[in-house]
Amino acid sequence: MSKTEQFFSLLYQLNRNYGQGVSTFGACSTDGCKQSGRGSGRCADCCEREIAVLINDGDVAFQIRDYTRKASEAIGEAVFKLENNN
Ligand SMILES: [Zn+2]
pLDDT tens, position by position, 32-67: 999 999 999 999 999 999 999 999 999 999 999 999
- pLDDT band (50, 70, 90) for residue 8: very high
pLDDT surpasses 80 at 86: no
Whole-number CA gyration radius for the chain: 14
Residue 29 C-alpha to ligand 1 middle, in angstroms? 7
Ligand 1 center–CA 33 separation, angstroms: 5
49 Cα–ligand 1 center, Å: 9
| Residue 11 Cα to ligand 1 middle (Å) | 14
